[in-house]
Structure 1
Amino acid sequence: MTDQMFVRPVRTRPIPEGARPLVSLKGLTKRFGKVLANDAITLDVYPGRIKALLGENGAGKSTMMSMLAGRYKPDEGWIEVDGEPVRFTSSKDAIRAGIGMVYQHFMLVDSMTVAENVLLGQEGSFFVSPREMEHRVGELAERYGLNIAPDAHICDLSMGERQLVEILKLLYRESRILIFDEPTAVLTPEETRNLFEALWRMTEQGKAIIFISHKLEEVIALADEIAILRRGRIEGELDPASIESKADLASRMVGKEVLLEVDRQPAEIGDKVLEVKNLTGLGLTGVDLDVRRGEIVALVGVAGNGQKALVEAVTGLIRPPQDTVFIMGKPWRKFFAESTWNRSMCYIPEDRLGLATLPNQNLVDNLLLTTRKGFAKGPWLDKKKAAKHTTRLIEKFDIRPGRIHALAWQLSGGNLQKAVLARELYREPKLIVAEQPTQGLDVSATEEVWNRLLETRAMAGVLLVTGDLNEALQLADRVAVIYRGRILGVLDNTDKDIARKVGPLMAGIVD
């Protein structure tokens, strides 16, 4: 997505003279054991303005915002709202002060509807009828241009649609200070445009917005000012008008030059490691797709068009119709009956905290989640050996904080994704199913993941499921477009017009 896709209202970038911050952070410091997550953070956020917060994975962005939202207590320093010091003992205190936050990891009840989740815990909601709930939430969604059915159940929603529910929860509270932590990570371009228009409308009402994102083009287009966080400290603030390019902003963020692209050289193509033949059912119709060793095949499409069902059918989460899925030359049932822990298939899920890891277990136990047979001696697990290999993977993939006993939920989204990738590549797979593998990663980490996926072509074929068209074009040898459960086309990346052709196919338009 490029900044040209946004039509920004005419705004005055400078802070009005004499304006008072709506919220101020004064020397906030937070430690987790020996790890200094935030170091004397001082930051002002003004009403009617959008402040973007940039930093590498593990720089301390989410920790800082969690203190502002009342989730964590600072070890040192304090917070001021309207110029008055406040002390939050819980997120409820922050909500009462007018602060709302949408987190990277969703906090929704799967068995409830959209409307029930939005009103859950809200004052007076206990006596509201389901019809009235749906009416209120429907009006709210329509007001901000968010396309979501209030009577839909969370368990039936895509990741992008679940993100919209989290945003609706925040809007319903009418918070004056709104914190968005990677809100567009799972949104389509159209949903992102709608969100940005909603954010601009909120600033017109005098709300202050903090926007955390790794998508630099969005930050440049959206923000009034940009604060850069590096290793737990604010390194400086920038006027977006002073930024020359995405590469310029990326280098300022990470302190070194970032190319924002990879050199994809052709690899030797081998045997088929995945073959899908006329797969009909599970919301899919006549799907034909194959992946060979040495290539990356990207599956792209607007969220909710059948990607989830296809991934689940391939990876063993649901049973496909017989004789429709073949892995490494074996029928689906035979493959999973004989599958080994290594040199087989690995899956990098989109839901990194729920499906990919155990949130309350450390990195060693999360390594063992899919590799335990490689560390087994009879009925016993060699935990010391697993710990040594975990330490090596932490160093190799630069996973922060670099402690094997850190719990999965304590890692930032990007570092948790790197931990999952490290674990799965350790298995030396022959087929990799990677679902949104760089979602929530900073530009430096994204480049690293891209390069590692390209390297794996020497031993594996990769099915890359992504909502990022640029990622697909950078990595894939072939791009398959899915729409309403059908593969409408498979395009070779050597086609110079591929970028022009993919867009209409994603919208269901076939020449």
Structure 2
Amino acid sequence: MADARYIELRGISKKFGAVVANDGVCLDVARGEILALLGENGSGKSTLVNMLSGIYAPDSGSIYIDGRETVFSSPADAIRAGIGMVHQHFKLVPVMTAQENVSVGEKAGLFVRFARVREKMYQIEKKYGLVINPEKKVYNMSVGEKQTLEILKVLYRGANVLILDEPTAVLTPQETAQLFQILGKMKEQGCAIIIITHKLNEVMEISDRVTVLRKGKSVGTVLTAGTTPRELTELMVGGPINLEIQRESVTRTAEPMLAVQGLTLADDEGVTVLDGMDFDLYGGEILGVAGIAGSGQKELCETIAGLIDPHRGSVRFLGEELRGLSPRAIIKKGISMSFIPEDRLGMGLVAGMDITDNILLKSYNHTKGFFVDRAEGRRDAEKIVSHYGIATPSVHHVVKKLSGGNIQKVLLGREIEQNPKLLITAYPVRGLDIGASTTIYDMLNAQKKRGVAILFIGEDLDVLMALSDRIMVIHAGAVMGIVDPSRVSKEDVGLMMLGSRGNPEASGNPEASENRAVRRGRP
């Protein structure tokens, strides 16, 4: 590792109105070093790297590059200074090829440009060990390929400082390993790398040092080799916290609460997104769902919740057929179901409304004749804010102005307070810090102990393996297998996510697994 500080932030402060996002933060990273940036939601991580990448300007403090004070007035300034950022949500144009995406904005003759673009891409790939087809359309790429393309795009623009925001959030173990190989190559070539992540096991594996933020301040920078996940967590939250995810031992119901058979759905272009899905979900169990992004998770949840009508198949809740029923019809039948969608602000909450009004959206009993009892709704909102630790000035605060983690807590709190019998959760801890995630895991276990049937769509395999009673692995809308997490490895599940059929014996019930295989028409 190089000794000289290449990037240095000194006393960086930033306010948004009365909210202090960063308060005198100091951070540095050397060439040939990987620095992990940790902190709870709202600790100021995103604001800090947004200033380093030219999106915001600090109110006070200085940014130094190679010992020279630098001022950015735009992201273009940061790119010219060699700083590139790969956001958690990819900034790619789906209908364009890889070479078109990396060269967006260049001003040159079309044919000459692409010949030069391909040559430059090849040189970068050779240097850092990247592999990408320059003529492949983004919509045909796997998530791992898109991640690689995002990295290639910033390197193409001359970046030697790379900032990655939650880079492994939607990657399989195999794709994560490939990403870490690329980052290792970049480190060897002298790049300075900053990673924002909540996954402490990955911090310990890939980083050289760790800087921790708490409530907008930098509270410590430590050598990764000289610390532990527990010490890092205590730095983040300011005290001890239990990192272990408990799988509660609960006797599940004798009969399935939810039975799905032959569930099939095609999108508007005729592409199959759910391919004859068969599975059962029991009360008192958490059935985890693992799959690479775009494998049908969203469509599965929305079909069960009554938002999409499948082309074929059956969805039964306690023997009652749900197929063809709208969410309103499901409620009228007295079926107690809560759905926590992936798109928090698009489907779950109304961004421009305050917390109280969003809570009232599901509080059907808070009415007086034709009028809504806002006082009762406010009390419910205050209870949820307190119970789930939502950081907000008041329950009258507009939801879209909350941090991502707090937005999720509002949605989770509202749905759980409905006391459902069936709980469908799509990525419930996405964007949450360790403390908040632990709260959510405890909440899911509490619901499980109540006898609730929980369908848990997850993206962190370590969490899925620790929390779920069974894991259903899907690929391209088809069930690859339903396995007992205590009988398979994370790598086994990763291979199934990529399309490999699971071993029926891994389910702990070979006969049931074979019956499912026969129903799907497999030999």
Normalization by structure 1: what TM-score?
Answer: 0.83
> How far off is 1:90 after superposition?
2.5
The answer to whether the 8 A contact 2:97-2:137 is kept is yes
In 2: Cα distance, 1:129 partner to 1:411 partner? 47
Rate the CA distance shift 1:433–1:383 in 2: closer, same or farther, 3 A: same
In 1: Cα distance, 2:305 partner to 2:133 partner? 29
Task: State yes or no: 1:482 paired with 2:466.
Answer: no
The one of 367, 371, 390 aligned to 1:399: 390
What amino acid is the match of 1:300?
A
> How far off is 1:133 after superposition?
9.5
In 2: Cα distance, 1:384 partner to 1:74 partner? 41
The answer to whether the 8 A contact 1:35-1:401 is kept is no
Partner of 2:232 in structure 1? Answer: 249
The answer to whether the 8 A contact 1:294-1:459 is kept is yes
Task: State yes or no: 1:461 paired with 2:453.
Answer: yes
The answer to whether the 8 A contact 1:104-1:413 is kept is no
Q: Which has the larger radius of gyration?
A: 2
1:231-380 matches, cutoff 5 A: 231-243=215-227, 245-270=228-253, 272-282=256-266, 283=272, 284-328=274-318, 329-334=320-325, 336=327, 338-340=329-331, 344-352=336-344, 354-357=346-349, 362-364=354-356, 366-367=358-359, 371=362, 373=364
- Using the aligned pairs only, state the percent identity: 39
> How far off is 1:72 after superposition?
1.9
> How far off is 1:46 after superposition?
1.8
Give the aligned length: 491
1:97-116 matches, cutoff 5 A: 97-109=81-93, 112=96, 114-116=98-100
Task: State yes or no: 1:189 paired with 2:173.
Answer: yes
Partner of 2:443 in structure 1? Answer: 452
> How far off is 1:364 after superposition?
4.4
The one of 75, 78, 81 aligned to 1:94: 78
What amino acid is the match of 1:313?
T
Task: State yes or no: 1:207 paired with 2:207.
Answer: no
What amino acid is the match of 1:198?
I
SS of the equivalent of 1:297 reads: strand
Rate the CA distance shift 1:510–1:477 in 2: closer, same or farther, 3 A: closer
Unpaired runs of 5+ residues, structure 2, are 267-271, 504-523
Write out per-residue CA displacement over residues 127-152 of structure 1, whole angstroms, 9 at most, x where no aligned residue.
46997699479748955555666556
What amino acid is the match of 1:475?
L
The answer to whether the 8 A contact 2:306-2:330 is kept is no
The answer to whether the 8 A contact 2:99-2:114 is kept is no
Rate the CA distance shift 1:34–1:510 in 2: closer, same or farther, 3 A: closer
The answer to whether the 8 A contact 1:291-1:297 is kept is yes
Write out per-residue CA displacement over residues 135-184 of structure 1, whole angstroms, 9 at most, x where no aligned residue.
47974895555566655665676766654554343233221222111111
Partner of 1:51 in structure 2? Answer: 35
Rate the CA distance shift 1:510–1:212 in 2: closer, same or farther, 3 A: closer
Rate the CA distance shift 1:127–1:313 in 2: closer, same or farther, 3 A: same
Unpaired runs of 5+ residues, structure 1, are 1-11
Partner of 1:418 in structure 2? Answer: 409
SS of the equivalent of 1:66 reads: helix
> How far off is 1:47 after superposition?
1.9
Write out per-residue CA displacement over residues 108-133 of structure 1, whole angstroms, 9 at most, x where no aligned residue.
4555555544433x332784699769
In 2: Cα distance, 1:460 partner to 1:124 partner? 58
> How far off is 1:30 after superposition?
1.4
- Aligned CA RMSD, in angstroms, stands at 3.5
Rate the CA distance shift 1:68–1:353 in 2: closer, same or farther, 3 A: farther
SS of the equivalent of 2:159 reads: coil
> How far off is 1:504 after superposition?
5.5
Rate the CA distance shift 1:390–1:33 in 2: closer, same or farther, 3 A: farther
1:138-217 matches, cutoff 5 A: 139=122, 143=126, 144=128, 163-217=147-201
In 1: Cα distance, 2:444 partner to 2:46 partner? 27
The answer to whether the 8 A contact 1:491-1:498 is kept is no
> How far off is 1:258 after superposition?
2.8
1:25-36 matches, cutoff 5 A: 25-36=9-20
The one of 104, 107, 111 aligned to 1:124: 107
Write out per-residue CA displacement over residues 441-489 of structure 1, whole angstroms, 9 at most, x where no aligned residue.
3222221111111112215211112232222222222222224443233
Rate the CA distance shift 1:378–1:72 in 2: closer, same or farther, 3 A: farther
The answer to whether the 8 A contact 2:121-2:152 is kept is no
SS of the equivalent of 1:259 reads: coil
Partner of 2:521 in structure 1? Answer: none
The answer to whether the 8 A contact 1:52-1:225 is kept is yes
Rate the CA distance shift 1:435–1:35 in 2: closer, same or farther, 3 A: same
In 1: Cα distance, 2:120 partner to 2:364 partner? 48
SS of the equivalent of 1:324 reads: strand
In 1: Cα distance, 2:436 partner to 2:69 partner? 37
Partner of 1:5 in structure 2? Answer: none
More displaced stretch, 427-436 vs 46-55: 427-436
In 2: Cα distance, 1:500 partner to 1:191 partner? 11
Partner of 1:84 in structure 2? Answer: 68
> How far off is 1:396 after superposition?
1.6
SS of the equivalent of 2:331 reads: coil
In 2: Cα distance, 1:132 partner to 1:316 partner? 50
Write out per-residue CA displacement over residues 240-270 of structure 1, whole angstroms, 9 at most, x where no aligned residue.
1112x43333233323223322333333534
> How far off is 1:317 after superposition?
4.5
Rate the CA distance shift 1:363–1:30 in 2: closer, same or farther, 3 A: farther
More displaced stretch, 100-109 vs 333-342: 333-342
SS of the equivalent of 1:53 reads: strand
What amino acid is the match of 1:104?
Q
The answer to whether the 8 A contact 2:169-2:459 is kept is no
Write out per-residue CA displacement over residues 206-260 of structure 1, whole angstroms, 9 at most, x where no aligned residue.
32211111111111121121111111111111011112x4333323332322332
What amino acid is the match of 2:467?
L
SS of the equivalent of 2:390 reads: coil
In 2: Cα distance, 1:361 partner to 1:114 partner? 39
Rate the CA distance shift 1:32–1:112 in 2: closer, same or farther, 3 A: same
The answer to whether the 8 A contact 2:143-2:292 is kept is no
